[in-house]
Amino acid sequence: MANNRRRDILRRAAELFASQGVSRTSIEDIAAAVGIKREGVYYYFKSRSDILLEIILPQSKSLLMGLQRLMRANMDSTLKLRSAIEIHLDAYNPSYIEMSVALKEQHFGLDDTRMNELRMVWDEYGMLWTGIIREGQARGAFKQEIDAKIVAYGLLGMCNWVSRWYDPDKSTTIRDITDTFAAIATTGVEAAAVAKPEAAQ
């Protein structure tokens, strides 16, 4: 029963955080959504930031572990980059709300020392993405003249922005988005050159 109540609080809090923002959501709002008194929320959680971290830290650690496993895999660089995109975007389904909350920047200003743990996870995650690009460059699969970190963070930004517009109830699937983003990352959007017919003599 206690675990069910705790999960219910986290789920309702995630929905509120996603729809109206962390800063505009109070403990009273969360309690009302669950159908309990505010003291009932405090029985399980010390603060709003404590709830926030319980929502996003497990999801963030799961992403990090997935990328750590990928980095140890011996595979083609292009496939590894596609797999990194897939790992990231797969987290939107079925954990769409949690990912939406995790990737909205405004909550990172909360004054809580535990947020440092979250920042460390995301810092390492970003470094691993950069490592994928550098590995591809070392193998000759990716352009040498581009900055690996800028590429990595650009791709991450593209993937993270999905949290702003993705609707799991619409026809576009995570697989569709993954295929499109992987194509952008590996081959770009420029059409292949088509040979022009020779002019008549």
Asked whether 64 and 120 are in contact (CB, 8 A), the reply is no
Q: Looking at the domain assignment, is residue 192 inside a domain?
A: no
Higher pLDDT, 17 or 112: 17
Q: Is residue 166 pLDDT above 80, yes or no?
A: no
Q: Percent of the chain having pLDDT more than 90?
A: 50
CATH code assigned at 16: 1.10.10.60
Using 50, 70 and 90 to split pLDDT, how confident is the model at 153? very high
Q: Give residue 94's pLDDT.
A: 61
CA distance 74 to 85: 17
29 with 84, same domain: the answer is no
- CA-based torsion, 134, 138, 143, 144: positive or negative: positive
Do residue 111 and residue 168 come from a single domain?
yes
The parent domain of residue 2 ranges over 1-45
- 108: Cβ contacts below 8 Å, ≥ 6 apart: 115, 118, 119
Cα separation of 148 and 66, whole Å?
A: 20
Structure confidence at residue 173 (pLDDT) = 86
Stretch 29-49: mean pLDDT, rounded? 93
Categorize the per-residue pLDDT at 55 as very low, low, confident or very high, splitting at 50, 70 and 90: confident
pLDDT at 103 (0 to 100): 67
Do 2 and 41 share a domain, yes or no? yes
**25 and 116 share one domain:** no
Burial of 74 (0-12, 13-18, 19+ CB in 10 A): exposed
Report how far residue 17's alpha carbon sits from residue 11's, in angstroms, rounded to the nearest whole number.
10
Residue 195 lies in a domain: no
pLDDT in tens, 100-124: 777 665 555 555 666 788 888 989 9
68 and 153 fall within a common domain: yes
Q: Which pLDDT does position 187 carry in this prediction?
A: 86
- Backbone φ and ψ for 111, nearest 5 degrees, come out as -85, 90
Q: Are residues 63 and 154 in the same domain?
A: yes
Half-sphere exposure of 109 (CA within 13 A, CB side): 6
Same domain for 14 and 89, yes or no, is no
Given a cut of 70, whether residue 156 has pLDDT beyond it is: yes
Q: For residue 42, is pLDDT > 60?
A: yes
Claim to verify: residue 97 and residue 171 sit in the same structural domain: yes
pTM of the model: 0.79
Residues 37 and 12 both lie in one domain: yes
Tokens 């996870």 sit on residue = 121
Mean pLDDT of the chain: 85
